[in-house]
């Protein structure tokens, strides 16, 4: 289509001579063809994104930022893909069920019993009243003690075998089309795009490059101290549980600092648990021009509608002048498979 229009434009130019009217038509056509964010509705948010990217990329401009400082970080769950349900917790449950064959005692032992019986109440209570200590037992069993190679194969097997309960699509398909376009648009303008999420480093690396074009070294997640040791005579990275760095809320800036050593100029997060207020705030401490995007889940038809009891993220957005994305109004389509 693009080629055809370019050809027609050229033909018009040659036949008509290069008068002002022709040039104007060509320019409008080109801007339509090259819309970098086609799944975003026209509006304040889309305009602000494009203006920001243009201003920091324009050499000689007052807002210019050199490419090496164009760091963009994005939360994953609820920002780049669905977080209802949280895929990594589904993975943990999937693994517990698989491993239960070798652990007959789990039928009568919590927290495994609750997973095997599909009793969500037990873990919800644990999270609310017990700091998620029981959940951590599930995570430990399913995320540590094996080689990294084995773990990655487990994640791949889960992603291939499972599907999202609402859409019947793989979790790697329930990603937000507008955000895929935004990631690509930023990279095209020499931004380095990173994930900064509470999800596991090793979990997200299995799909981040294929799905988002985010390379392993740019995946910043929760991690623990792994070890390098000989397993069956071969040197391997073995997943451990010591010194867990839970990458959430106020620890996100600390992990970004550890990993990148630069403050991002663009951060995308979402409303759910206040989990991204930290990294969004961090980007505002940058002396360079910076941009904050907060995804609000307000579309109960096409996705889910949920909010925070204390409204912390939206309040912080108002105070900080962050750009709030209404999924309902700002996004033409939600998923790549939407019409």
Dmax over CA atoms of the chain, in Å, equals 84
Cα separation of 90 and 266, whole Å?
Answer: 30
Instruction: Of 136, 144, 149, 150, give the one whose Cα is nearest residue 241.
Output: 144
Contact region with a second copy (CB under 8 A), list: 95-103, 105-113, 235-243, 265-273:
235-243
Collapsed DSSP state (helix, strand, coil) of residue 146 = coil
Considering only residues 96 to 135 of the shown chain, the ones binding a second copy according to CB under 8 A are: none
Using CB under 8 A, which of 227, 307, 311, 315 touches a second copy? 227
Under DSSP, the state recorded for 206 is T
| Two structure tokens written together for 331 | 């996004």
Contact region with a second copy (CB under 8 A), list: 112-120, 138-146, 167-175, 260-268:
260-268
**Residue 237 engages a second copy in binding (rule: CB under 8 A):** yes
**Residue 259 engages a second copy in binding (rule: CB under 8 A):** yes
**Residue 223 engages a second copy in binding (rule: CB under 8 A):** yes
Under DSSP, the state recorded for 175 is B
Using CB under 8 A, which of 109, 120, 258, 318 touches a second copy? 258
Instruction: Of 54, 74, 70, give the one whose Cα is nearest residue 62.
Output: 54
**Residue 142 engages a second copy in binding (rule: CB under 8 A):** no
Q: How far is CA 328 from the centre of its chain?
A: 19
| Two structure tokens written together for 264 | 């991002």
Cα separation of 57 and 52, whole Å?
Answer: 8
Q: Could you give the string, one character per residue 18-57, with x where binding to a second copy holds by CB under 8 A and - elsewhere?
A: ----------------------------------------
Considering only residues 280 to 299 of the shown chain, the ones binding a second copy according to CB under 8 A are: 281-282, 284-285
**Residue 143 engages a second copy in binding (rule: CB under 8 A):** no
**Residue 84 engages a second copy in binding (rule: CB under 8 A):** no
Peptide bond into 85 cis (omega under 30): yes
Of 215 and 305, nearer to a second copy (C-beta) is 215
Using CB under 8 A, which of 32, 117, 190, 257 touches a second copy? 257
Least gap, CB of 259 to a second copy (angstroms): 7
Angle at 194 between CA 192 and CA 199, to 5 degrees: 175
Contact in structure between 165 and 120 (CB atoms under 8 Å): no
Residues that bind a second copy in the complex, under the rule CB under 8 A = 68, 148, 201-202, 205, 215-217, 219, 223, 225-229, 234-237, 243, 245, 250-254, 257-262, 278, 281-282, 284-285
């Amino acid at each position: 289509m693009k080629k055809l229009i370019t050809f027609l434009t050229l033909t018009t130019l040659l036949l008509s001579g290069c008068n002002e009217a022709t040039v104007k038509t060509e320019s409008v056509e080109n801007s339509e063809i090259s819309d970098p964010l086609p799944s975003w509705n026209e509006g304040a948010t889309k305009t602000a994104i494009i203006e920001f990217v243009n201003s920091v990329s324009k050499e000689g401009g007052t807002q210019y930022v050199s490419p090496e400082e164009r760091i963009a970080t994005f939360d994953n769950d609820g920002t780049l893909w669905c977080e209802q349900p949280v895929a990594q917790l589904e993975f943990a449950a999937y693994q517990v069920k698989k491993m239960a064959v070798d652990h007959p005692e789990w039928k009568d032992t919590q927290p495994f019993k609750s997973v095997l019986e599909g009793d969500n109440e037990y873990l919800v209570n644990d999270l609310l009243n017990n700091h998620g200590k029981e959940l951590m037992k599930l995570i430990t069993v399913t995320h540590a003690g094996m080689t990294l190679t084995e773990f990655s194969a487990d994640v791949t097997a889960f992603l291939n075998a499972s599907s999202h309960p609402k859409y019947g699509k793989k979790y790697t398909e329930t990603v937000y089309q507008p955000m895929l376009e935004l990631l690509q648009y930023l990279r095209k303008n020499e931004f380095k795009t990173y994930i900064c999420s509470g999800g596991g480093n090793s979990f997200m690396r299995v799909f981040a490059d294929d799905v988002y074009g985010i390379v392993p070294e740019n995946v910043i997640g929760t991690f623990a101290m792994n070890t390098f040791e000989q397993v069956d005579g071969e040197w391997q990275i073995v997943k451990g549980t010591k010194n867990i760095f839970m990458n959430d809320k106020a620890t996100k800036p600390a992990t970004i600092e550890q990993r990148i050593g630069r403050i991002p100029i663009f951060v995308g997060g979402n409303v759910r648990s206040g989990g991204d207020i930290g990294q969004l705030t961090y980007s505002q401490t940058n002396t360079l021009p910076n941009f904050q995007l907060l995804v609000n889940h307000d579309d109960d038809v096409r996705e889910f509608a949920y909010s925070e009891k204390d409204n912390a993220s939206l309040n912080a957005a108002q105070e900080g002048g962050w750009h709030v994305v209404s999924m309902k109004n700002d996004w033409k389509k939600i998923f790549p498979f939407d019409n």
